[in-house]
Amino acid sequence: MIEPIIWDENCLKLLDQRLLPHKKEYMICRSIYDVAYAIREMVVRGAPAIGVSAAFGVVLGLKEGKNINEIYEILKNTRPTAVNLIWALDKMKGAYEYCDGNINYMEKVAIKLFERDLEYNRMIGKNGLTILNDGDCILTHCNAGALATAGYGTALGVFRAAKEKGLNIHVYVDETRPYLQGARLTTFELMEEDIPCTLICDNMPGFLMYQGKIDKIIVGADRIAKNGDTANKIGTYQLAILAYYHDIPFYIAAPLSTFDFTLENGNQIKIEMRNGNEVRKIKDTLISPNNVPVFNPAFDITPGHLITGFITEFGVFNSVKDLLNNINEGGKNGD
C-alpha cells in the first residue's frame, strides 16, 4: 500500500507528489512552515490529505512554541478551495481548547484524524461496490486515491475495493491538465495495485462515451455545497455534461468532511487560481510563447443536478438532502 503521509513523532514525512511517477522521495517536514510549503506547493495534494497534513502541522507548530491562532492562520492560507483543510484545523483548534494546549493530547488527535481518514475511505470503497457491476469500464478524473488521502482513496478506494472483491473492472484515466495528476499519479497508483487502466488525453472522453466504452464516471471532490454543487479539479464539469448527454451515471466519492453545509451553493466556493507557468510548461519545458496570457483555475463547479449520487462513508445518496436526512435519522436513533 502506498504511504503518502508518515508521522514520526517530531517530523512529518510527505511523499513528494511532484516527483512521481519516476521518483519516490519524502519531504521531511520539521516545522509548521515546512508543512505550509508542502501544501501550497503541492508536495501533498488532495483534500483529505491536505487536512490530515495540516493536523500534523498544528502539532509541529505547537512544539515550536507558536500560538494556536497563529498556527491556524499560517495553515489556513495555504490553499483556499478544499474544505477539509479548514475542517481539520477547526477540529485541532477545538481539541486545543478542550485540552488546554496539551501537546501529547494534540498529537493523539492528529493521529486519530489520520486513522479515521483511512477507515472512512475504506467504508467509501465498500459502499461504492453497490453501484458497480462486474465488467464495468469507469472513467476517473484527476487523482482521488491513496495519494490524495491518508492512504486508501475515495474514488480510487472504490476501485481498490472492487479488486479486493474480485470484480473485473477497467479504469480510464484522463491526463488532467495542466498538472497531470491523472497521467502521473492515478496511473501510478492503479498500476502499483495491478488494477487494469488506460491513460487517455483530456479531449478524448466524449468520443469514448459516444462509442459506448464508459459505463460510469467516479471522481473525488474538494468541497461540496449544501445543494450538491461540487468543486473538483478543473475539467470535472465538462465530464458531467458529457455524462448527462450520454446518459452515463456520474458519481462523487467523498467523506463527510468534504461537505460544506455552511454554503448554499457552488457560487460561494472560492476557486484557487494558480501560476500560469503550469499551463505554459510541462515540468520545465516551455510549450507555448513564454509571455502568452494564461487563465489557470485549479477547480471548477459541477452543478448538483448533474450528479447521479454521492458515495460516502455513510452510504450512497442521490442528493446531499438525502445524506443529511440519513445523518439526522442516525442521530435520533443514537447511532
222 flagged as catalytic: yes
Distance CA 265, CA 228 (A): 7
Q: Are 218 and 158 in contact (CB under 8 A)?
A: yes
The CA R_g of the chain, rounded to the nearest whole Å, is 19
Q: Which entry of 202, 222, 229, 260 is annotated as an active-site residue?
A: 222
Tell which residue, 169, 165, 158, has the closest CA to residue 135: 169
Cell numbers found for residue 88: 481539520
Taking alpha carbons only, the member of 56, 74, 41 closest to residue 6 is 56
By annotation, the residues acting in catalysis are: 222
